[in-house]
Amino acid sequence: MDDPLAPDESDSQLVEIAGKHLLISRLVAAGFEVAEPLRDKGIDLIICRDEDRFRAYPLQMKASTQESFSLDRKYEKFSNLRIAYVWNVKAADKGEVYLLTFHQALKVMEAKGYSKTDSWTKNGYYFVRNAGKELKELLEPYRMQLKNGPEKILALG
């Protein structure tokens, strides 16, 4: 049963807010500091960690009440960008987070054949609403879990 306090699927702002808070809670639990830029110019969050050497990572979030996957060529220009796919935000206990670099997401698209579609080749954008079994298997190595959160994020570089 869906959570009665979960965001309405038709309200994209509420979906984004719920997804962002789910993502932030996972990042904080994994030991990261999280900052939100005042302006949205393609970066939704900036994450950093107290280490010997300060490193910050820009993060673009794609939140969904389902299990959607998308990629936009415009994000290729951001160095060290992490793309967070936040799924099932309508039921927080089922929420999942996948963290990839642009190039890792592109490799997933190539493996699925999405990079050969007109949507990608002509428009530089691809979107699929429901991931399906094969896409989920391709994304599994990038699933963020508390036990591997920090290492996974730092290793994406």
pLDDT digits (tens, 9 = 90+) for 104-126: 999 999 999 999 999 999 999 99
pLDDT digits (tens, 9 = 90+) for 34-51: 999 998 787 999 998 877
Domain boundaries in the chain? 12-155
CA 91 – CA 120 distance, rounded (Å): 31
CA 90 – CA 106 distance, rounded (Å): 27
pTM higher than 0.95: no
pLDDT at 1 over 90: no
* 153 neighbors 30 (Cβ within 8 angstroms): yes
pLDDT at 95 over 50: yes
pLDDT digits (tens, 9 = 90+) for 70-88: 999 999 988 789 999 999 9
CATH topology of domain 12-155: Trna Endonuclease; Chain: A, domain 1 (3.40.1350)
